[in-house]
Amino acid sequence: MDTRGPSATPLLAASALTRHLPGRRGKARAPAVDNLSLTLHAGDVLGLLGLNGAGKSTTLRLLSGCLTPHAGSVHIAGHHLQDEPLAARAALGYLADTPALYDDLRVSDQLTLAARLRRVPRDKIGAAVSSAIEACALTEVARRRCGTLSKGYRQRVGIAQAIVHEPRVLLLDEPSSGLDPQQLDDMRQLVRRLGEQRCVVLSSHLLGEVQACCTRIAVLHRGALRIDRSLQAADDGGESLAALFARLVSDEVSDESGDGEAA
Amino acid sequence: MIGVVFRHELGRLARSAQSWVVAAGFAGLAGYLLLGQLERWIAEQDAIRLQDHAPGLAGFLGVNLLAPLAVVIGLLAPLYAMRAFADEFRERTWSLWQSSPVPLMALVGGKLAAVVTAMLLPIGIAIALVLMLRPFTPLDAGVVASSALGLLLCAAATASAGLYCSSLVRQPLAAAAGALALVLWLWLLGSLGAQAPWARALAQLSPGQHLSGFFQGYPRSADVLYFLLFTATFYVLTVIRLDALRHAGDE
């Protein structure tokens, strides 16, 4: 139950968000994200779960402003993403499914660029970069060029880039991709820590990862939000998360085989 | 914010070997052409002296060296601009710009300013070759200055066209090919027969029709305006194209 009361302004509010896939001429366009609504406050860490192709990355791209919704609206820290895009984007950090890194830049230079782009005051850029490097355990590679890093390190630089300006809303698309078990554990602790003062949305298709670091869970299936509840409530509910996930997978398989037979 | 974009893009161009190779190739070509024109200047001295309003060396080199080099610079600018956006799409770095509080006008303006600044190297080489003769012969500084202005405006216009083509595709070479085709096509408009009114109007769209005044030392404000409008047109088209990417959902 939400105890913040009606006056608390949500950090992230998405209302009836809809985005269609590009359709062929004359054919109906399937929704990639269908009428999705979310409200998150400081302290919420939302795990966006779903099978491959469920619409997780599209949802995060819509929430980050990289994609314009066909219907619905997004507010970031009280700013409408379409009407006040600069103010809204200044309050969010986004890690895309592939970290946006320049191979020829050193890690520290990459983070400095991100800090400048996110309008960190000039006299605070050095401290912000050092803090992000420390938070993501990048000290030993800070002088290395991004193009020479392993996938796990690239992912961590991507996360550092998303948090360098201390955003109030953090969107992480598959942040655990390419991390080894130790790095995975560190990343989960980092997400939990970041979520204490801001809201975090992370996407994953791994139930264990979401259970390890999130306070809320949302299950997406074919673009529609099937479940949005606190992890505590999900654990206490009649159908376990694992069972729900298994049911979604079996629905998917039976639908596909049905399509195949019909064809 | 435009300064952040400008410094970042200029740094990328400076770290790229291609920028330096292109500039070196241009320096070799310009030096070769300069030697040829100097020999011609010496060989045709008697004929030149007999002309009414005989040109000085600066005027001669402006028309016979810098004007042809303007075509080369017009074709080089798209090579400098080809990576500006196409590389961002190909290397998946575009999401950094899309999710940052950077206005598109500042983004495109910063990248355009960086490409034009990088083009100062070949332009500087061309002008320096002419100025090298100053210890040996008097040069008309006004002609040299107006020629430099012409080269700069030509570079800005074609760089702007190059940026637009770069925003359309993911492959830098495809962007360069598209921009070169566009610039060449515009340039060839100037060679249309000037009999029919429509042909004369179309020919006015060619950059070549607006450059000669700069190299003769008499730049016209209409010509300056043409290049500024050319640059602004492709600048606005690039902003519109990048804004449309958010709606289209592809890059």
Contact B79, B163 (CB under 8 A): no
pLDDT higher than 70, residue B203 = yes
Minimal CA–CA distance to A246: which of A59, A56, A49? A49
- Residue A2 has a pLDDT of 45
- Are both A51 and A181 inside the same structural domain? yes
Residue of B nearest to A67 (CA): B246
Mean pLDDT across B215-241? 92
Strands across the sheet containing A31-40: A31-40, A12-20, A71-76, A79-80
Interchain proximity A114–B96, CB inside 8 Å: yes
Interchain proximity A100–B100, CB inside 8 Å: no
Question: Is A128 a member of any domain?
Answer: yes
CA B116, CA B155: separation in Å to the nearest integer? 7
- Are both A71 and A184 inside the same structural domain? yes
Of the residues A115, A144, A166, the one at which a domain ends = A166
The predicted model scores a pTM of 0.86
Residue A38 is part of a domain; what is its CATH number? 3.40.50.300
Q: A34 by DSSP, 3-state: which? A: strand
Interchain proximity A96–B8, CB inside 8 Å: no
Contact B64, B37 (CB under 8 A): yes
Interchain proximity A87–B101, CB inside 8 Å: yes
Question: Is A258 a member of any domain?
Answer: no
Strands across the sheet containing A216-221: A92-95, A169-173, A199-204, A45-49, A216-221, A224-230
Residues from chain A that touch B100, judged by Cβ atoms under 8 A, are: 89, 114, 117-118
- Are both A176 and A159 inside the same structural domain? no
- Are both A173 and A48 inside the same structural domain? yes
Complex confidence, ipTM: 0.82
**How would residue A113 be classed by pLDDT, with cut points 50, 70 and 90?**
very high
pLDDT higher than 70, residue A261 = no
- pLDDT tens profile A43-101: 889 998 888 778 888 999 999 988 889 899 999 988 998 899 999 999 999 999 889 99
Residues from chain A that touch B244, judged by Cβ atoms under 8 A, are: none
- pLDDT tens profile B133-187: 777 777 788 888 998 999 999 999 999 999 999 999 999 999 999 999 998 888 8
Question: Is A3 a member of any domain?
Answer: no
- Residue A174 has a pLDDT of 87
Question: Is A263 a member of any domain?
Answer: no
Question: Is A96 a member of any domain?
Answer: no
Of the residues A122, A145, A166, the one at which a domain ends = A166
**How would residue B194 be classed by pLDDT, with cut points 50, 70 and 90?**
low
- Are both A135 and A227 inside the same structural domain? no
Helix (H) or strand (E) holding A92: strand A92-95
Alpha-carbon radius of gyration of chain A: 19
Q: Which of A92, A104, A117 sits opposite B4 (nearest CB)?
A: A117
**How would residue B51 be classed by pLDDT, with cut points 50, 70 and 90?**
confident
Contact A60, B71 (CB under 8 A): no
- Are both A42 and A149 inside the same structural domain? no
CA A133, CA A128: separation in Å to the nearest integer? 9
- Are both A181 and A241 inside the same structural domain? yes
In A136-172, alpha helices (H): 151-163
- pLDDT tens profile B92-141: 999 999 999 999 999 999 999 999 999 999 999 989 988 887 777 777 88
Question: Is A255 a member of any domain?
Answer: no
- Are both A114 and A173 inside the same structural domain? no
Lowest mean pLDDT of A119-123, A207-211, A245-249, B230-234, name the range. Answer: A245-249
Count of the separate structural domains present in chain A: 2
Question: Is A109 a member of any domain?
Answer: yes
Interchain proximity B247–A68, CB inside 8 Å: yes
- Residue B247 has a pLDDT of 81
Of the residues A166, A194, A215, the one at which a domain ends = A166
- Residue A251 has a pLDDT of 64
Question: Is A146 a member of any domain?
Answer: yes
SS3 helix, strand, coil % of chain A, rounded to 5? 40, 25, 35
- Are both A236 and A191 inside the same structural domain? yes
Interchain proximity B93–A102, CB inside 8 Å: yes
- Residue B121 has a pLDDT of 92
Residues from chain A that touch B84, judged by Cβ atoms under 8 A, are: none
Q: How many Å lie between the alpha carbon of A35 and the closest alpha carbon of chain B?
A: 17
Contact A90, A119 (CB under 8 A): yes
- Are both A66 and A106 inside the same structural domain? no
Restricting to A residues 53-72, those with a Cβ less than 8 Å away from any Cβ of B are: 61, 64-68
Calculate what percentage of chain B has a pLDDT beyond 70: 96
**Does the CA dihedral A73-A76-A80-A86 come out positive or negative?**
negative
For A141, the domain range is 101-166
- Are both A198 and A77 inside the same structural domain? yes
**Interface size between A and B, measured as CB pairs under 8 A:** 65
Restricting to A residues 9-28, those with a Cβ less than 8 Å away from any Cβ of B are: 19, 22
CA B231, CA B211: separation in Å to the nearest integer? 15
